[in-house]
Copies of this chain bind each other. A is one copy, B any other.
Amino acid sequence: MPLPASFGSRLSATFVEFGHLCVGIDPHPHLLGEWGLSDSADSLMTFGKTVIEACAGRVGIIKPQVAFFERHGSKGFAVLEQLAEIAQTAKLLVIMDAKRGDIGTTMDGYYDAWLGKSAPFVADALTVSPFLGFDSLLPMLSQSHERGKGVFVLAATSNPEAAEVQQASLGSSQVAANVWRKLGKANQAVDGDRMGSFGAVIGATVDPANFGISFEEAASTPILAPGFGAQGALLSQFSRLFASAADRTIATVSRSVLAGGSINLETNVLAAKDDLKSTSRIGGLDE
């Protein structure tokens, strides 16, 4: 049986068609309030569908923040199942932001939930945590490859308190750099120089050098970059920030686009897309 199209190849096609923007679905209770919605599972559906409708045909990628569904328990998760289906129908790539991480058969459980053949939550990719060691994720990477799914591994996040873990060293290698290099090897092994399906989460506000990360290494590894908008990085600085990696980086926005209610959403999404386009000419031409 031939392999399905890889996540990396679908991501490449999405970049060409819609650019590098990814819109978060973060139904934070405060945002629900701004939208005039109650803090309930039903509101998650209204919120999520509205974001999907505003993105469909304009943006290629959405990223639901699982914690905001989880806080509504099984009812919240039932909404997430439905939203994932709706997003697939709208031809959006869905990256589930769950930051799961465990070992062995337990990690297999998370694979089954989000990326497996009968996954109740239909995702194109999942964010995961390497605290139990990068190699504890290898079975998930291998399984994901077989199904054309993607995995984004936390590497260098934008919150300052993360430095004590992610910048720590074993031997000559910093934790984040080790994740980055191992992702590079994993991608090279299955996809050569084509866009890989195993990405790193690297915050837009961090200096990768502080984490020992060089974008010249792992040259086919995609990056999921939160930190734009409310967290401080400017979409207009995208090419400068990600330099040679910009052509494989996803710029995610959420609060900056979602704040202000559903009435401003479409305008905000298009403005973010324009901001990103204005300086995202790949190759650093905007410098």
Contact A161 B133 (CB under 8 A): yes
Known pairs A131-B162, A134-B164; A113 contacts B70 (CB<8 A) = yes
**Identical chains in the assembly:** 2
Choose from B81, B120, B164 the contact partner of A133 (Cβ within 8 Å): B164
- Which residue of chain B is the closest to A112 with respect to CB atoms? B71
Instruction: Assess whether B165 is in contact with A131, with CB atoms less than 8 Å apart.
Output: yes
Q: Shortest beta-carbon distance, A180 to chain B, in Å?
A: 13
A131 and B105 within 8 A (CB): no
From 55 to 80 in chain A, residues with beta carbon under 8 angstroms from any chain B beta carbon are 65, 67-68, 70-78, 80
Any chain B CB within 8 A of the CB of A37?
Answer: no
At the interface, yes or no: A166 with Cβ under 8 Å from chain B? yes
A131 CA to B136 CA in the complex, in Å?
14
Are B103 and A157 in contact (CB-based, < 8 A)? yes
Q: A272 contacts the other chain (Cβ, under 8 Å)?
A: no
The CA of A165 and the CA of B173, in the complex, are separated in Å by 10
Decide: A168 and B161 in contact? CB cutoff 8 A: no
- The reply to whether B67 and A28 form a contact with Cβ atoms under 8 Å apart is no
A161 to B103, CA, bound (A): 10
Q: How far is the CB of A3 from chain B (nearest CB, A)?
A: 23
Question: What B residues does A120 contact at CB under 8 A?
Answer: 71-76
- A-B residue pairs in contact (CB < 8 Å), sample of 6: A26-B106, A67-B109, A70-B113, A131-B162, A136-B162, A163-B170
